[in-house]
Amino acid sequence: MQLYRSENKRTLPLPVFALIPAAGSGRRLGADGPKQYLRLAGKPMLWHAVNAVCAPPVQSVFVVLSPEDRTYATQDWSRFAGKLEPLYCGGETRRDSVYNGLVAAMAGVDADDWMLVHDAARPCLPRADLERLLAEAKGEEVGAILALPVADTVKRVAQSRITATEDRSSLWLAQTPQMFRTGLLAEALRAAKGEVTDEAAAVEQLGLRPRVVPGSRENLKVTYPEDVAMAEALLAGRPA
C-alpha cells in the first residue's frame, strides 16, 4: 500500500475544514428520532456541534447525513450561511459516513488541507479546546486529537465479576474534534480493517502515532438520557 505523504508539508494557517458525521439513529439515548436533532437550549444538538467548529480558521463545515434524512432541511441553519454544506451520503457505520463524506468533500478540498472530524453528539465543545487543538497540531505531519487522561480506577470485567484492575497511567479517553490531513485520513479509512470507532484508530492502523492534546470534561458526548441535562446546563451558561 502506498502511504499518503504530504508533498508540501503545509501547516496552519492554511485551509481548515470540518466534517460532522450525523447519519446515526441514537438508539442508546432512547430518543424518538435521530439524536442529532434533539433540542438543547432551544436548538438541535447538531446545530450546537456545528456552531462549536464553525469559526475561523475553519472555512466550511460538511455535515454527513443519511440519504433518507428529511429533518435537516426543516431546521434553521441561517447562522452558518455560506459555510455549511450537507452531504447526503452517510453509511452504515461511522467509518463509512466519514469516508463517504471525505470523498464527497474532496471536490473542493486539497489532500494536504486539514480536516476536523467532530461528533454531532458533542455540542458543548469549548472554544478554548478547539484553539488548543489547532495550535498544537500546527506542524504535525500525522495529526492530533483531543483526549482526557483517565481519572477513575479501571476494572476489567467478565460476567459481572472483576477480573483485573488496569494500570490507568497511560490510558486516555478519546474526544473530538480529531484533526488530520484530508488525504491521509481518507486513505486510512479506506484501508481500515475491523471496527474503528474513531478516526485515530484508522490512522493508527497505518503505523502512525497521532498527537494527543488535552481536552476538557465540558466536551461531553451526549449518549445516555442523563447526559442531556448536563449538556443543557453547560449550554445555558454560554452566549447564544
Range of the domain at 104: 16-236
Average of per-residue pLDDT across 66-81: 96
pLDDT over threshold 70, residue 30? no
The model's pTM? 0.91
- Dist. CA 193–CA 177, nearest whole Å: 22
Residue 182 lies in a domain: yes
Q: Please report the pLDDT score of residue 32 as a whole number.
A: 67
pLDDT over threshold 50, residue 50? yes
Residue 10 lies in a domain: no
Q: Please report the pLDDT score of residue 118 as a whole number.
A: 98
pLDDT over threshold 90, residue 96? yes
Instruction: Name every residue whose Cβ is closer than 8 Å to that of residue 97 and which is 6 or more positions away in sequence.
Output: 21, 23, 64, 89, 90, 91
Report which of residues 26 and 213 the model is more confident about: 213
Residue 153 lies in a domain: yes
98: domain CATH number is: 3.90.550.10
- C-beta separation of 101 from 87 below 8 A: yes
Residue 6 lies in a domain: no
Average of per-residue pLDDT across 108-133: 96
Q: What percent of the chain has pLDDT over 70?
A: 91
Residue 227 lies in a domain: yes
pLDDT band at 238 (very low <50, low <70, confident <90, very high): confident
Q: Please report the pLDDT score of residue 14 as a whole number.
A: 72
Residue 1 lies in a domain: no
Domain count, the chain: 1
Residue 5 lies in a domain: no
Q: Please report the pLDDT score of residue 1 as a whole number.
A: 45
Average of per-residue pLDDT across 9-38: 76
Q: What is the mean pLDDT of the chain?
A: 92
Average of per-residue pLDDT across 28-34: 64
- Dist. CA 88–CA 100, nearest whole Å: 9
Residue 130 lies in a domain: yes
